[in-house]
Amino acid sequence: MDTLIKNIVQHVRLSPEEIALFKSFWTEKTLEKSEFLLRNGEVCRHDSYIVSGVLKAFCINSENGNEEILFLAIDHWWATDISSFSKQIASIYNIQAVEKTSLLQIGHQSFQKMLHEIPSLERYFRIILESYLGTLEKRIVFNNMYKAEQKYYDFLETYPDIVSRVPQYLIASYLGVSAEFISRIRKKNKSS
């Protein structure tokens, strides 16, 4: 809980009373490796903050049966189907633990009550959503304008912590390239 509060107070002021109230809304959850946080077709009932661990969000390609990675999330990141959570509608993707993962979670109704009772958190969650939207926009631009090799190098530079913790095939899926392609780039870099 301390890491989440530390992150929040970097963006908004909370009184000691508000911090105590904030803590009362959250519960802890642990996922074992390969356990699902959310499955396609379920309603996302909780917003989840990763205390430690790695999650992947993915859809299954109906043509080839492959996982298509939508996002990868590690310690101190959020992992939620925002649309499903905010509208309480069925999710179109899955979220699954890549390794044992500890989470802090808040239910939809509790989230709404928390925002009502601690109005400054509206600003914090707007900042988080703006950051997420910027990441999505960058990904769209890179997917449409850059070659696979450049996308890979940008990923390495932007997310070095993910690279060290996530299997190569998941990074390849996220980038829309084959694992063999990434192997060739790595091999080329080693021989240079």
pLDDT tens-digit profile of 48-65? 999 999 999 999 988 988
- The tally of CA atoms less than 13 A away on the side-chain side of residue 14 is 25
| Mean model confidence pLDDT for the chain | 93
pLDDT above 80: residue 189: no
pLDDT interval class at 23 (50, 70, 90): very high
Q: How many residues are there in the chain?
A: 192
Could you give the C-alpha distances from 159 to 22, 27, 73, 135, in angstroms and in order? 30, 28, 10, 12
Q: Identify the residue with better confidence: 141 or 23.
A: 23
pLDDT above 80: residue 97: yes
pLDDT interval class at 192 (50, 70, 90): low
Q: What is the pLDDT of residue 169?
A: 92
Would the CA dihedral through 170, 174, 176, 181 be positive or negative? negative
Lookup: tokens for 173: 């899926």
Bridge partner list, 56: 72, 96
Q: What is the pLDDT of residue 185?
A: 86
Report how far residue 172's alpha carbon sits from residue 152's, in angstroms, rounded to the nearest whole number.
Answer: 8
